[in-house]
Chains A and B, each alone.
Chain A
Amino acid sequence: MASSSRQAVTAAFRGACRSSRGQWQPLNQQFQALRIQDSVPGATRCISTEIEQPTDYNSIRAAAEIDLTPGASAVERLANARPVPVSPSYFTRMPKFNDRFLALERLARTYGNLPRIPNSHVQHVAWQTLEDMKLSLGERIKSTEFARCLALVKKLHTIHPKLKPRAVKEALQPFKKEVQPFKVEKKEVGVDKYGRAHAAGKRKSSVALAWLVEGTGEVLINSKTLPEYFGRVHDRESALWALHSTDRLGKYNVWARVSGGGTTGQAEALTLAIAKALMVHEPALKPALRRAGCVTRDPRKVERKKAGHVKARKSPTWVKR
């Protein structure tokens, strides 16, 4: 810090000395003369704006007492009244932030010794970033301050959840982002009141939605029967492969909607959808279905065509001469 401020002051002097070029002194000498002493012996530094109990009462001089004699009228008293900020950090440049920071520090002092859990076990939380905080508070928060504050937040967050006081939880709340991407709520999967299990499947550019209900083995795809919808026997077998490989053909009725892609894609999208719906009915079948290759979504897609190529990778024919 000393060197950087020295250079700044040097630069300022360079401009000032231009007029008195004759009495040129080396800048360093001038700086030495003007150097302000960083530390005054005996003074204590105080970062916090918290009111501390002064030890030497004699050194304090109070302001002149406001005259509140009963004889004074209300108007007179009002004339002497002056507004006092609620928060001591009112006159700082980021009062709201400082309030929070101070509150956190207080909490850290109080509860800092509570048992903590290792970082790997801590619930993953998306904290507000500096930008978020600046926007939400409307204050020009310094990044260093913010970093220190966030470190404190994270430290408090690692307190064992069962022992974590309510005050800590409440104090941490404003530092969390409104949307918590890590907090994934699992969708309710199950059989609905009509006994249907619903699942979706995809393959290539086809999307299939299947509803599976216990029954006699009837299949309706886009309100057509299986042979009407898939002319090719292979496609029909693919579509019902999940049921076939687990010997469940004839035990479930399928009602499905398919769209997009071609026959192969649609049939294999159905495989996935039916398999997922089947797993809702009978979760124990998952290993069998995985062995049958019905659980994994096939991620392959048509590769896009590239400029300068005939297809995705094929180059135009080229002869040297």
Chain B
Amino acid sequence: MVLILGVNFNEHKLVKKALETFYALGPAKSERILAKYCIHPRAKVGTLPPKTVTALTAELSTMTIENDARKIVQDNIKRLRDIGTYRGRRHAMGLPVRGQRTRNQTETSRRLNRVERRG
């Protein structure tokens, strides 16, 4: 098991996929991180030298990921709510924000849309 930014990863996991498990870190960013540290795209977590692992952790800690990123999203929603916009209201009601129909199939918005958004 290898520890990156406080998270344990299986040694057989691809580094790219491991990075993508962090919130607000997608394929594009993870690819760039790999290139920055000269890790080939098919590298497994177990093959990384400890030096690189530390460097990766340092790199990730400077990025706005996980809670920082979530906070930004929540702030944005809160701002909408506070100034009383329609979008803010929809968020608070857990309904679709962008004009989708609400007759059925609003699972995603019901799950995600709220003022203190978690996902």
State yes or no: do A and B touch (Cβ within 8 Å): no
Chain B interface (Cβ < 8 Å from any Cβ of A): none
Chain A residues with CB under 8 Å of chain B are none
